[in-house]
Amino acid sequence: MNGISILIVIMLPIVGGVLLPLLDFDARRAREYYVLAIVIATSVFALSLISGSEGTELILYHLTSTIDIAFRIDRFGGIFALLVSILWPLSTLYAFEYMRHYHKRNRFFGFFTMSFGITLGVAFSANLITMYLFYELLTLSTLPLITHDGSREAKVAGVKYLVYSIAGATAAFIGMIAVLTHGGSLEFNVIGLGSAVTEANRAFFDGAFLFMFFGFGVKAALFPLHGWLPTAGVAPTPVTALLHAVAVVKSGVFAVGRVVYYTYDADYLAGSIVQKLALWFAAFTIVYGTVMAWKELHFKKRLAYSTVSNLSYILFAFLLATPSGLTAGLLHMMFHGLMKIALFFVAGAVMHQSGRTYVTELRGFAKAMPVSFGVFTVASLALVGVPPLCGFLSKYAIASAAVEEGSRSAYAGLAALLISAVFTALYLLTIVVRAYFPGENYDGHNLKDVTEANAYMTVPLVTLAVLIVVLGCFPGALTEFISGALSTAFPGL
């Protein structure tokens, strides 16, 4: 399979998405079949590409002499693409049901499908500039999704999201160009800066790294730059679930991973002040995210803050710049995607069925929506890190990577990891307890109209729960697939 197939996989959803408003479906059924067909075709195609044709390349265009738009399928991108291709069909199915009583659905599903292609573009890009291109397009394609229901609050969230993302993207761009002008290569098959780094311009390269780290950190919801994630919770749930728990934020973390392992190699970063600073930032975000989540009463905002902290888990793992750090980060990227999207789907189901958005209103919901809250319990236990489930594995991998690295900031991260585990239990299990054990003077008055969501919603939920449990017990195949990424990131190994 030569390079063209990569282009097809990326362009299929984008073109499909663009055509949707033009084709102007009236019947709901027709639109659903069309969108589902495109999404499933793309994910199947992507999965075949990841597993089958590793290493195929495609130079799309030589933009300038030193920069070109090129795609390559390597294991590191493949994992991100795997996550996205699994979750996108599920959330599309979910979105069909959720968006039933929204208007302007053609436009919504148009941009929704386009974001799929663009996220695949981020995954398969072969150098930082191509990734920057898709990174910016992702902002533009997700913006209309956030401001979809046109309320005042949605507009404010949209503007805030736009400002943060554009600022981040430009800062990252400046960092990239700084590296490029001083001899570093942005290609992902050229590991590290090699000869470009001398004692004189080391400080310069550190500065460039910080620009890129905080630039991409905006989308990875790093502490000072995370403001947009909770406010973006106002968007419809499929958007917050898929994009703000999986696609958009993960592309930020993925980008940081690319920068740490492919542009700056491990021995440049290990032990440098820059790494310490970044580690401390990630550690602080972990704690900050969980504490804010515990404080927040709005259901989706609480999950958004939990995403903020979980993303910094992955950042922390990547920043350790050790082989085990890389595998741990990728593992948590996969598992957190699964867990968080399940939690958001349950939140969405609750809002869709009963219109409740606040955590305090969930007394006794387990009886009314047994399947959803069953999945919610499994997912929260996984997120808290109870052993047989997948959350424990990735937390375990990150912690042992940190212990292995052994520096002071690594221990700080470990402490943050543990504290956040406790707070995760705090803000998730209280919901479970309140849902299952409403207490004795409770008569179910507030649940008269609430019924369990229909098949469109429960099927994705159950599949996710099954995935969480199965991957928790039998992660062998996945971990071996992930460790494949080591060979590209650490040629020496």
Partner 1 sequence: MTNVFTLLRITDRLSLQFGSDAVGRFFLCLVTIMWVLVGIYAQKYKEHQKHNARFFTFYILTWVMLAALTMAANYLTMYLCFEFMTLLSMPLVLHNGTPESIAAAKKYLFYSIFGATLGLLGMFFTNAYGTTLAFTAGGVMDPAKIAGKENVILWVAFLSVVGFGAKAGMFPLHAWLPTAHPVAPAPASAVLSGCITKAGVLCITRLIYQIYGTSLLRGTWVQTALIILALITVFMGSMMAYGEDLMKKRFAFSTVSQVSYVLLGVFTMNEAALLGALLHAAYHSIIKDGLFLCAGTVIFWTHKEYVSQMKGLGRRMPVTFGCLAIFSLGLVGIPPFAGFLSKWYLASGSLSEGLPVLNWLAPAVLLLSALLTAGYLFPICIHGFFPAEGEPEAEGKEGSGLMLGPILILAAATVLLGIFASPLKDALQAAAQSLL
Partner 2 sequence: MSLIPNIPAFSIILLMLCGIVCLVLPARWARHLADCAIALACAMSAVLLVAFMRGQEVFTYSMGEIGAPFGNELRAGPLEAAVATLFSVVTLLSILGGRAHLRADIGKKKVNLYYISVLFLLCSMLALVYTNDLFTAYVFVEINTITACGIVMSKEDGYTLAASMRYFIMSLIGSGLFLIAVSILYALTGHLLMSNIQEELAALYAQGQYRAPLQVAIALMGVGLSLKSALWPFSSWLPDAHSSASASSSAMLSGLVLKSFIFLLVKVFYRVVGVDIIRSHAILDLLLVFGILGMIMGSVNALFERDLKRMLAYSSIGQIGYIFCGIGLGTIAGVAAGIVQVAVHACTKAMLFCAAGGLMDASGGSKKFKDLEGAGRRDTYAGVAFIVGTLSMIGIPFFGGFITKLSLVTASVEVGGWRSTLAILAIIVSTILTAIYYINVTAIIFRGEEKTPTRASEKLREEWKKQMRLDTEYEFAIVLFIILNLAIGLQSDRLMDVIRAGLAVFG
Tokens of 19: 């055509």
| 63 versus 470: smaller Cβ distance to partner 2 | 63
Least distance from partner 2 to the Cβ atom of residue 22, Å? 10
Of partner 1, partner 2, none, which one sits near residue 174, judging by CB under 5 to 8 A according to partner kind? partner 2
Contact track, partner 2, 177-216, x by CB under 8 A: xx-xx-----------------------------------
Least distance from partner 1 to the Cβ atom of residue 429, Å? 6
Tokens of 40: 């499933």
What count of residues does the chain have?
493
| 193 versus 279: smaller Cβ distance to partner 1 | 279
Distance CA 226, CA 165 (A): 10
The whole-angstrom distance between residue 68's C-alpha and the CA centroid of its chain comes to 26
Least distance from partner 2 to the Cβ atom of residue 415, Å? 34
* Residue in the block written with tokens 């585990």: 421
Of partner 1, partner 2, none, which one sits near residue 349, judging by CB under 5 to 8 A according to partner kind? none
Distance CA 139, CA 218 (A): 12
Distance CA 492, CA 322 (A): 12
Distance CA 294, CA 261 (A): 33
| 476 versus 492: smaller Cβ distance to partner 1 | 476
- Binding test (CB under 8 A) with partner 1, winner from 36, 479, 484, 490: 479
Name which of residues 94 to 133 contact partner 2 (CB under 8 A): 103-104, 106, 129-130, 132-133
Q: Which stretch binds partner 1 (CB under 8 A): 79-87, 159-167, 295-303, 400-408?
A: 400-408
Q: Using DSSP, state whether 110 is helix, strand or coil.
A: helix
Tokens of 244: 């703000």
Query: Quick check: 143 binds partner 2 (CB under 8 A)?
Result: yes
Distance CA 152, CA 436 (A): 36
Q: Please, which residues have CB within 8 angstroms of residue 25's CB and are 6 or more apart in sequence?
A: 31, 34, 106
Query: Quick check: 360 binds partner 1 (CB under 8 A)?
Result: no
Tokens of 431: 């919901």
| 162 versus 419: smaller Cβ distance to partner 2 | 162
Tokens of 89: 């069909």
Distance CA 44, CA 82 (A): 10
Q: Which stretch binds partner 2 (CB under 8 A): 4-12, 28-36, 174-182, 426-434?
A: 174-182
Pair 208, 268: CB distance under 8 Å: no
- Binding test (CB under 8 A) with partner 1, winner from 443, 474, 477, 493: 474
* Residue in the block written with tokens 């440049």: 268
Query: Quick check: 388 binds partner 1 (CB under 8 A)?
Result: yes
Query: Quick check: 407 binds partner 1 (CB under 8 A)?
Result: no
Query: Quick check: 404 binds partner 1 (CB under 8 A)?
Result: yes
| 78 versus 475: smaller Cβ distance to partner 1 | 475
Distance CA 145, CA 112 (A): 7
Phi-psi region of 450 (alpha: psi -120 to 50; beta: other; left: phi over 0): beta
Distance CA 493, CA 491 (A): 6
Query: Quick check: 486 binds partner 1 (CB under 8 A)?
Result: no
- Binding test (CB under 8 A) with partner 2, winner from 159, 291, 429, 459: 159
Q: CB-side exposure of 465: number of CA atoms within 13 Å? A: 19
Query: Quick check: 444 binds partner 1 (CB under 8 A)?
Result: no
| 170 versus 272: smaller Cβ distance to partner 2 | 170
Secondary element (H or E) of residue 59: strand 57-61
Identify any residues that bridge with 72 across adjacent strands, giving them in sequence order.
57
| 178 versus 279: smaller Cβ distance to partner 2 | 178
Helices (H) and strands (E) counted in the chain, each on its own, are 20, 2
Least distance from partner 2 to the Cβ atom of residue 410, Å? 32
Query: Quick check: 393 binds partner 1 (CB under 8 A)?
Result: yes
The DSSP output letter for 151 is -
Q: Using DSSP, state whether 175 is helix, strand or coil.
A: helix
| 113 versus 394: smaller Cβ distance to partner 1 | 394
Query: Quick check: 64 binds partner 2 (CB under 8 A)?
Result: yes
Q: φ, ψ for residue 358 (rounded to 5)? A: -100, 145
Least distance from partner 1 to the Cβ atom of residue 176, Å? 36
Tokens of 78: 């493949």
Q: How many residues bind partner 1 (CB under 8 A)?
A: 36
Using CB under 8 A, list all residues that contact partner 2. Answer: 24, 26, 61-65, 67, 69, 103-104, 106, 129-130, 132-133, 136-137, 140, 143-144, 147, 159, 162-163, 166-167, 170-171, 173-174, 177-178, 180-181
Using CB under 8 A, list all residues that contact partner 1. Answer: 381, 384-388, 393, 396, 399-400, 402-404, 406, 411, 414, 418, 421-422, 425-426, 429-430, 433, 436-440, 442, 472-476, 479
